[in-house]
Amino acid sequence: MTQPIADEVVRKVAELARLALPEDELRALTADLARILERVARLGTVDVEGVPPFSHGALLESVWREDDPRPGLPREAALALAPEARDGYYRVPVVVRRDGEEKP
Amino acid sequence: MNATELSAREIARLVALRELSAVEVARAYLARREAVDARVRAFLHPAPADEVLRAARAVDEKVARGETPGPLAGVPVAVKDNISVEGRPLTCGSRILEGYRAPYSATAVRRLLAAGALVVGGANMDEFAMGSSTENSAYFPTHNPWDLARVPGGSSGGPAAAVAAQEAALALGSDTGGSVRQPAALCGVVGLKPTYGRVSRYGLVAFASSLDQIGPFARDVTDVALALSVIAGHDPMDATSAQVPVGDYVRAAEAGVRGLRIGVPRELVEADGIDGDVRELVAAALETLAERGAHVEECHLPTAATALEAYYVVAPAEASANLARFDGVRYGFRAAAGDLEAMYARTRGEGFGREVRRRIALGTFALSAGYREAYYLRAQRVRQKLLLDFQRAFARYDLLAAPTSPTVAFPLGERVEDPLSMYVNDICTIPASLAGLPAISVPCGFSGGLPVGLQLIGPAFAEETLFRAAGAYQDATSWHRRRPPLGGLAPAGGRRRG
């Protein structure tokens, strides 16, 4: 568990987590994660042979209810919090471009 | 009579008897906030005075009509900025939620309001509850009322400081790895993390869903017991809230500690970095409990020695999933960008602060293909093993005892640049969090003029046992009656963070 964390791995992680970061931030993040993971490697010293991973079931039982419709947050109240909304929908920047269309 | 000197229980009793009006209470607390909050900075969103007074008048009118005003009639409450109060700003101490107003109230808040409490403001916190000093707030740090140049602890530093500085009689915080108990210890107040499932999490912004729990702060044990009795109980809006009857916590706080068996896990008392004074004060507190009739002995909780490491995999992993919802589409801050993907990434890169980005990255890594088994699943196995350690311990003991925090409050700026030195502040509180157990911090003395907390940990849903020991300890001591000087040199201005 003691592999150091490579720049490319942190870059990939930032991409997966949708975090746009400048180069210096990425380098600082790599250094921080390396130190944290070095400490976390102590988990390797615990004998967990035959111990299952913890799951929520250890604390709780699943509960059920009737699937009855209930009133929720009114649409206008939800949309009022959005950075941009139009015609009863959330508005976002371009999702799909036509073939050959330039990225901004 | 100055209402800021009264306990919550006393305020509610006098308001119900019409010996004190809720409006007088509200005025006293608003004046106190006005006088001290420029120094303490406990509130991110202080409730406007007219709103607080209007709520107070409604309580008084209820009393005048002969109705029962509720067990918290006229009691001013501070609410951590990650717990929803309908119509009020809610930012989780983050830029990414700037401008957001809660469209509904958390169940815990609704119950407090129904009991007659007055919400006096949204209190400061480390961004998304990630931190142990409240310095990770994107807005400004909060100052410790015992020494304004020091941190109040975190992540619920605002609620803890508000109660310590008498700007509120009660507060609600949230505790994921120690975020109620540690600031309670550092600010010299009482703080409880209830059993996982004891209090509804509906309306609490999620950080790590298998760990988060809302918990109350007060200046004495009985007030914390009273607050828990109001907010505890099943809620259909939170499927993880338990169908376990709510106990008589106030009565438990007065029932005494005689006959209880208390184990002291060596791994928590001898952990790295525990200050000598803290260790001595905790040992002295345990002697006091023994004099009051408890049986105290050393015990072992072997896996607690690596609980911190397991937590800093599990909690970031859950956070990385929970915080995916902050993407600039439905609420809060949005960065300008030409397409949707770039908008997500820029909004999150700019909207989240450094520690939140660090935890999202750490959690994403621990869950990613190729690393999940080595990190996330191994951490969950260690967590399960810790659960078994606790089960064995509670076969022999009614409660476990340990320090709450390894040190007293540290100077602002001292640890904020070094994530590991901040993480180790949670070394004594994390084990109970991972196991979902209830734990309370009570003031047990002072080191260099700064408060120290004793932590008591109980089996699941044994809050009454916790209150018996905590109440008996408080009854034998007077630490909780000391009030902070609000002195010390505060660094100039509020530091903003990138």
Q: How confident is the model at residue B267 (pLDDT cuts 50, 70, 90)?
A: very high
- The shortest CB-CB distance from B348 to any of A19, A33, A94 is to A19
Distance of CA B210 to the CA centre of its chain: 16
CATH number at residue A34: 1.10.20
Q: Say whether B364 and A9 touch across the interface (CB within 8 A).
A: no
Asked whether residue A55 carries a pLDDT value surpassing 90, the answer given is no
Q: Is B179 a catalytic residue?
A: yes
Residue A6 covered by a domain: yes
Chain B nearest-CA distance from A55, in A, is 8
B417-457: pLDDT as tens digits: 999 999 999 999 999 999 999 999 999 999 999 999 999 99
B94, B179, B320, B441: the active-site residue: B179
Chain B residues within an 8 Å CB radius of A31: none
B80, B241, B320, B433: the active-site residue: B80
How many distinct structural domains can be found in chain A? 1
B9-32: pLDDT as tens digits: 999 999 999 999 999 999 999 999
Residue A4 covered by a domain: yes
Chain A nearest-CA distance from B209, in A, is 10
Q: What is the CATH number of domain B3-303+390-481?
A: 3.90.1300.10
Query: What are the residue boundaries of the structural domains of chain B, listed by start?
Result: 3-303+390-481, 306-382
Strand duo B76-80 + B118-123: pairing? parallel
B355-386: pLDDT as tens digits: 999 999 999 999 999 999 999 999 999 999 99
Radius of gyration of chain B measured on its C-alpha atoms: 21
pLDDT of residue A37: 96
Q: How confident is the model at residue A63 (pLDDT cuts 50, 70, 90)?
A: confident
Chain B residues within an 8 Å CB radius of A58: 384, 387, 436
Residue A34 covered by a domain: yes
Residue A82 covered by a domain: no
Q: Say whether B320 and A65 touch across the interface (CB within 8 A).
A: no
Q: How confident is the model at residue B67 (pLDDT cuts 50, 70, 90)?
A: very high
Q: Which domain holds residue A6?
A: 1-45
User: Angle, nearest 10°, between helix axes B354-367 and A23-40?
Assistant: 60
pLDDT of residue A2: 45
Chain B nearest-CA distance from A29, in A, is 7
Residue A55 identity (one-letter amino acid): S
**42-71 in B: which are within 8 Å (CB) of A?**
none
B311: phi then psi, degrees, rounded to nearest 5: -60, -45
Over residues B270-286, mean pLDDT? 95
N-terminal to C-terminal alpha carbon distance within chain B? 45
B37 shares contact with chain A (CB less than 8 Å): no
pLDDT of residue B331: 96
Residue A73 covered by a domain: no
B298-353: pLDDT as tens digits: 999 999 999 999 999 999 999 999 999 999 999 999 999 999 999 999 999 999 99
In three-state secondary structure terms, A44 is helix
